[in-house]
Amino acid sequence: MQHPGYHCAPVAPFGDPSAKLLIVGLAPGTHGANASGRPFTGDHAGILLYRGLHRFGFASAPVARARDDGLSLHNCRITNAVKCLPPQNRPTGGEVRSCNGYLSAELASLPPGSLVLALGAVAHGAVIRGLGRPQRDHRFAHAAEHRIAHLTLLDCYHCSRYNTQTGRLTEEMFMAVLGRACTLLGAVQ
């Protein structure tokens, strides 16, 4: 085993089980959730995500350090389209399909009026599949909104190091999407 202290197992969703905001990421990062056992904890993508969640009142702290750091989420839960670390840190279509039953169950458990924030096109596609809808009817685009069944799907570029360092996703863009999520949920933050 290359990293004996790592979690190295499926990463469960984190947060409020009765939340109306579900954030869907791609998959556990090699040195992030695969190490910590909690989504977006210990990797670069979590820096912007948790800072934004704290700013809008969904997280008790702006930084996620470790699974046992005391951080809690309020009216928010975070999950991934793929639950285990994929080879080369990029899930295949087969892996997304294999894990989709878990995501489908999470989506079905959301109360009416919930909002799903898909971080990236792969997460978006997994959500559409999990809702049993055709992909062609709901195309991914940054800040796009899709009303589907009992919820709203809001798209955002993934807060990965690549996207933030290239400027494809700026902090202002990300905060604007989180602000829109609050508006859609009717939350006063």
Return the bridge partners of 78, or none.
Answer: 14, 23
In a domain, residue 7? The reply is no
In a domain, residue 157? The reply is yes
State the pTM of this model. Answer: 0.94
Closest by Cα among 39, 45, 35, 42 to 2: 35
In a domain, residue 42? The reply is yes
For residue 164, give both structure tokens: 């933030």
In a domain, residue 1? The reply is no
For residue 138, give both structure tokens: 């709901």
Burial of 31 (0-12, 13-18, 19+ CB in 10 A): middle
In a domain, residue 90? The reply is yes
For residue 182, give both structure tokens: 């609050």
Task: Please count the structural domains in the chain.
Answer: 1
Most distant pair of Cα atoms in the chain: their distance: 47
pLDDT at 61: 97
Q: Measure the CA–CA gap between 89 and 82, rounded to whole angstroms.
A: 11
pLDDT at 29: 85
In a domain, residue 45? The reply is yes
For 62, residues 6+ apart whose C-beta sits below 8 A from its C-beta are: 50, 51, 54, 55
Q: Measure the CA–CA gap between 6 and 30, rounded to whole angstroms.
A: 9
Question: Which regions of the chain are under pLDDT 70?
Answer: 1, 187-189
Asked whether 115 and 20 are in contact (CB, 8 A), the reply is yes
What is the CATH number for 175?
A: 3.40.470.10
For residue 101, give its domain range. Answer: 14-185
Return the bridge partners of 189, or none.
Answer: none
In a domain, residue 55? The reply is yes
Closest by Cα among 105, 80, 110 to 95: 80
In a domain, residue 9? The reply is no
Element (H, E) at 25: strand 21-25
pLDDT one-digit tens code per residue, 59-77:
999 999 999 999 999 999 9
